[in-house]
Amino acid sequence: MCMGYCINQNDFQEVTSAELELALANGAKLDDKGLLFIILARHHDSKLASQLTMLLLRRFSSLQTIIEMPIEDIISVKGISRAAVLDLKQIKHFLNAVSRASVTNLPVLDCYEQLIDFCKFQFGATKKEQFHSLFLNKRYELVHHECLQTGTLDHVTVYPREVLRLAIAHSASFLILAHNHPVGKAKPSRADILITKNLTSLAAGLGVGIIDHLILAGNDSFSFLQSGMMGNNDPDLLKKLCVKPIANWQ
């Protein structure tokens, strides 16, 4: 079985869940259809599991979105068992533990892509804008992560005083800001740029450095730091992430 093994809608008639599980155990990379089919086939016969797989993906678009949905929304899909839904929801808890472990007790600069993936998993698929902050100690290790505010479909209000209060409460030396765009692209708005500039200035007065502001939109992400938009950062920090600094905010 090849390492890039994926299946499409027609393959369900010929490939069993046992064969897919064996492929997965041997290192194959299954797409959302294959992974979802394996889970559903544990609770339904292959024909129904195949039908449910396509129905769920048509309705919710991706496996990540499915596991983020409330139980009531998934179980409303005709034919799916409650046991299968609970299995799907358990995946979120396992992935949460794995994603957190990948950025725990390590300087985030040594696992920056994993940190971005951690943020994507935590709130990248939510249907409302959320503003998060990641609090780091002087060794750039993640000591706390918190959702500070949930807004609407295309707006979230940020309260600088709350961000800085928590930074002090957690003895943070550095912050990474992050929020999602449920609609639109992973591209900073003028408001995103202004709040980043404002928070960076206020935090500096307390001796707290803001390293980055991440914007997530589905599987896409935008990093102020990696795009050279964080202004006068520590040259060593920029060098480590291969970022070329620019003098002014855009």
pLDDT tens string 140-173: 999 999 999 988 888 888 899 999 999 999 999 9
Q: Which of the four pLDDT bands, split at 50, 70 and 90, describes residue 38? A: confident
Q: What is the pLDDT of residue 19?
A: 65
Report phi then psi at 89, rounded to 5.
-70, -30
Q: What is the pLDDT of residue 35?
A: 84
Q: What is the pLDDT of residue 17?
A: 63
188/127: higher pLDDT? 188
Is pLDDT at 214 greater than 90 in this prediction?
Answer: yes
Is pLDDT at 120 greater than 90 in this prediction?
Answer: no
Q: Which residues pair with 147 in a beta bridge?
A: 132
Place of tokens 């920090």: 237
Distance of alpha carbon 91 from alpha carbon 97, whole angstroms: 10
Q: What is the pLDDT of residue 250?
A: 46
pTM over 0.75: no
Distance of alpha carbon 73 from alpha carbon 191, whole angstroms: 33
Helix, strand and coil percent figures for the chain, each rounded to 5: 45, 15, 40
143/121: higher pLDDT? 143
Is pLDDT at 248 greater than 60 in this prediction?
Answer: no
Q: What are the domain boundaries of the chain?
A: 9-97, 107-240
Q: What is the pLDDT of residue 137?
A: 93
Average pLDDT in the chain: 81
Q: Domain 107-240 carries which CATH code? A: 3.40.140.10
Four-residue CA torsion sign, 199, 202, 205, 208 = negative
Distance of alpha carbon 121 from alpha carbon 70, whole angstroms: 16
Is pLDDT at 192 greater than 50 in this prediction?
Answer: yes
In whole angstroms, what separates CA 156 from the centre of its chain?
A: 18
Once rounded to an integer, what is the mean pLDDT over residues 48-61? 91
